[in-house]
């Protein structure tokens, strides 16, 4: 009897968890109302990496885990132009900046901006590196992209 009671209680509990709740009625009842546009960009299509890039990418990731940043950066710098993947270029840029290797960061962010010309982060990074190199005039178009994306940037500090 106790077993039957416990089994019934368990089934009721599981059944209650599995049921779908009814959605709450919306406050807006206007059928002509359009939903607000999302600011997020659509995800890029997924594509496979070439077979000869799998080992170098794994090597770079394991090198990062072992704090062998030089190996990781050199491997990513070799793979980024070959793969032409914005995420790889961004990762390479961030790693080079972490290592304070501005020439390598400049190389990687150049590819990143080429692949994602409207990326505020990529353009901000490239503008900062150009200003540090003493080329503020070349940084202005990239700062314009940052300004168009409504990001907060200290433009006078960057240009001084």
pLDDT in tens, 3-22: 666 666 666 666 665 555 55
Structural domain includes residue 89: yes
Structural domain includes residue 21: no
Give the end of a domain, one of 96, 116, 136.
116
Task: Determine the average pLDDT of the residues in 61-67.
Answer: 97
Report the Cα–Cα distance between both ends of the chain, in Å, rounded: 83
Structural domain includes residue 111: yes
Task: Determine the average pLDDT of the residues in 108-119.
Answer: 95
Q: Quick one: angle between helices 86-98 and 120-132, nearest 10?
A: 40
The three-point CA angle 144-42-105 to 5° equals 50
Angstrom distances, CA of residue 114 to CA of 60, 79, 145: 23, 16, 13
Whether residue 127 contacts residue 143, with contact meaning beta carbons closer than 8 Å, is answered with yes
In this structure, the answer to whether residues 108 and 159 fall within a common structural domain is no
pLDDT value at residue 51: 87
78: nearest Cα among 98, 63, 100: 63
Whole-model pTM over 0.85: no
Structural domain includes residue 127: yes
The three-point CA angle 99-102-108 to 5° equals 95
The three-point CA angle 152-153-159 to 5° equals 165
In this structure, the answer to whether residues 86 and 106 fall within a common structural domain is yes
pLDDT surpassing 80 at residue 145 = yes
Whether residue 49 contacts residue 83, with contact meaning beta carbons closer than 8 Å, is answered with yes
Which of the pair, 78 or 144, is modelled with greater confidence?
Answer: 78
Domain range for residue 74? 49-116
pLDDT value at residue 44: 65
pLDDT surpassing 70 at residue 154 = no
Which token pair is 119?
A: 């990326």
pLDDT value at residue 146: 87
Q: How many domains does the chain have?
A: 2
């Amino acid at each position: 009897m106790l077993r039957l009671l416990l089994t019934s209680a368990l089934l009721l509990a599981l059944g209650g968890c599995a049921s779908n709740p009814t959605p709450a009625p919306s406050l807006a009842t206007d059928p002509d109302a359009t939903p607000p546009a999302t600011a997020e960009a659509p995800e890029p299509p997924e594509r496979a990496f070439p077979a000869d890039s799998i080992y170098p990418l794994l090597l770079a990731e394991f090198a990062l885990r072992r704090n062998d940043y030089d190996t990781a950066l050199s491997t990513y710098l070799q793979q980024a132009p070959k793969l032409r993947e914005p995420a790889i270029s961004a990762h390479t840029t961030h790693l080079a900046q972490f290592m304070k290797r501005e020439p390598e960061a400049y190389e990687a962010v150049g590819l990143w901006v080429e692949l994602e010309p409207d990326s505020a982060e990529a353009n901000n990074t490239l503008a900062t590196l150009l200003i540090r190199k003493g080329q503020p005039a070349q940084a202005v178009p990239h700062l314009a992209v940052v300004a168009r994306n409504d990001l907060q940037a200290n433009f006078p500090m960057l240009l001084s």
